[in-house]
């Protein structure tokens, strides 16, 4: 086949590779503990499932939805106001997505021509750079380093790159580093975006998975943010609805309209029943969200305390469903350590380098198993490695 050159910039991904290795290890009779993919193992609340069920039974709900319903957009606006005190106009500042990934993947189609520059965090969630590469743009990696609290150092971006850049991707609470951003950082981002005329795209997928009473903020809380950017929100993690594809993008109305135009040429909207499930999630009781966060917090403590006790030291994240762990003593390559961990302990984590060059030296552990399984993972590592 005569493939497009962009295919060269895509890989089938570390997850497929890990899946292959998992099968090899399991064929030897070892039950692998998979802390690789960040797919929630918890169920959605019953009222969300009920709303979906009821709506699935209505034959009128099977036409193309052609976008979000006004009921969904009002629910989103109400939720954003209550959670972040951010005002959104349901008529033109919200767009429904088939999962936030849909928007993250397609936005570049509206803004990036071949050769255009986008600022993309390194390490970062892979779709930010893939979306730019698929539009044949150029990725300028923004290193996010521990010494800078995993925030990009905007002052280190060369002037000519800042002038050329059209988009900057940001994501806090962050995947994979689990870091969070503060108001002061977002204020500097808005200032930078105004100065260089850059569209800010903030992904806030993990805002509700936060611990020890921490409440992550929305980028749109900062004055002027809506003039320069948009924010992507996902129901996947907050409400454990990852396979029930729904998310949304909010903020700058020109961007919302442009992405809406692109999408209207690609898909015909989110299934009405899934929209109803989303409305039930956003407007229903929120104790399920607090319960989910408490569950992850307990898991975090089992993992981080357990590994630290056996000499693999790692910080406790204040948000996200991940632990971003520096390599244990004796290792300098994340891929070598990950291979060893699977072979010797039957535990899968993701090598940091899979998220970009600056991810080397770390692994990402997803807290997607219950506490007893995580304790078992710690025991297996204790029995098969000596870090002290």
Residues at the site binding ligand PLP, with contacts judged by CB under 6 A: 38, 99-101, 125, 171, 175, 203, 205, 234, 236, 242, 247
Residue nearer to ligand PLP on the CB measure, 205 or 314 = 205
Residues facing 202 on adjacent strands: 170, 231
Residue nearer to ligand PLP on the CB measure, 101 or 358 = 101
Q: How far is the CB of 270 from ligand PLP (least distance, A)?
A: 11
Q: How far is the CB of 99 from ligand PLP (least distance, A)?
A: 3
Q: How far is the CB of 171 from ligand PLP (least distance, A)?
A: 5
- Structure tokens belonging to residue 199: 């569209």
End-to-end CA distance of the chain: 53
Q: How far is the CB of 24 from ligand PLP (least distance, A)?
A: 25
Q: How far is the CB of 69 from ligand PLP (least distance, A)?
A: 19
Q: How far is the CB of 76 from ligand PLP (least distance, A)?
A: 14
- Structure tokens belonging to residue 264: 């209207």
- Cβ atoms of 98 and 330 closer than 8 Å: no
Beta-strand runs (E) in the chain: 33-34, 94-97, 117-122, 138-143, 165-171, 199-203, 229-234, 247-251, 322-326, 347-348, 350-351, 362-366
The gap from C-alpha 164 to its chain's centroid, in whole angstroms, comes to: 26
CA distances to 225, 226, 264, 282 from 74, rounded to whole Å, are 21, 18, 21, 10
Residue nearer to ligand PLP on the CB measure, 118 or 205 = 205
Residue nearer to ligand PLP on the CB measure, 203 or 369 = 203
Q: Which residues contact 50 (CB under 8 A, 6 or more apart)?
A: 280
The gap from C-alpha 229 to its chain's centroid, in whole angstroms, comes to: 18
Q: How far is the CB of 243 from ligand PLP (least distance, A)?
A: 9
Residue 228 parent element (H or E): helix 225-228
Q: Which residues contact 314 (CB under 8 A, 6 or more apart)?
A: 304, 307, 308, 323, 324, 325, 326
Residue nearer to ligand PLP on the CB measure, 248 or 385 = 248
Residue nearer to ligand PLP on the CB measure, 241 or 303 = 241
Residue nearer to ligand PLP on the CB measure, 35 or 205 = 205
**Cα–Cα distance measured from residue 21 to residue 14, given in angstroms and rounded to the nearest whole number:** 11
């Amino acid at each position: 086949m005569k493939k497009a050159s962009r295919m060269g910039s895509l890989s089938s991904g570390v997850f497929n590779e890990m899946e292959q290795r998992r099968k090899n290890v399991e064929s030897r009779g070892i039950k692998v503990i998979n802390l690789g993919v960040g797919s929630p193992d918890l169920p959605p609340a019953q009222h969300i499932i009920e709303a979906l069920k009821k709506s699935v039974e209505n034959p009128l709900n099977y036409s193309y939805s052609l976008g979000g319903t006004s009921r969904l957009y009002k629910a989103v606006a109400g939720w954003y106001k209550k959670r972040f005190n951010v005002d959104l106009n349901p008529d033109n500042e919200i767009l429904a997505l088939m999962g936030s990934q849909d928007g993250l993947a397609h936005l570049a189609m509206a803004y990036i021509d071949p050769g255009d520059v986008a600022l993309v965090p390194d390490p970062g969630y892979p779709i930010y750079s893939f979306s730019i590469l698929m539009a044949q743009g150029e990725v300028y990696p923004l290193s996010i380093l521990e010494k800078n609290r995993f925030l990009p150092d905007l002052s280190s971006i060369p002037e000519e790159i800042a002038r050329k850049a059209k988009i900057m991707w940001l994501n806090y609470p962050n995947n994979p580093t689990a870091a969070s951003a503060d108001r002061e950082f977002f204020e500097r981002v808005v200032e930078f975006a105004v100065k260089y005329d850059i569209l800010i795209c903030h992904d806030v997928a993990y805002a509700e998975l936060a611990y020890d009473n921490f409440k992550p903020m929305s980028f749109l809380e900062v004055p002027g943010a809506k003039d320069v950017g948009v924010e992507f929100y996902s129901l996947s993690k907050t409400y454990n609805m990852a396979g029930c594809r729904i998310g949304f993008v909010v903020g700058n109305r020109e961007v919302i309209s442009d992405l809406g135009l692109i999408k209207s040429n690609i898909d015909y909207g989110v299934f009405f029943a899934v929209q109803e499930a989303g409305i039930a999630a956003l407007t229903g009781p929120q104790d399920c969200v607090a319960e989910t966060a408490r569950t992850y917090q307990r898991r975090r403590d089992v993992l981080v305390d357990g590994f630290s006790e056996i000499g693999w030291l790692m910080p406790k994240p204040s948000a996200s469903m991940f632990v971003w762990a520096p390599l244990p003593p004796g290792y300098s390559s994340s891929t070598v350590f990950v291979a060893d961990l699977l072979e010797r302990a039957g535990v899968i984590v993701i090598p940091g380098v899979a998220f970009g060059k600056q991810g080397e030296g770390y692994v990402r552990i997803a807290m997607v198993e219950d506490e007893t399984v995580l304790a078992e993972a710690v025991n297996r590592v204790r029995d098969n490695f000596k870090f002290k």
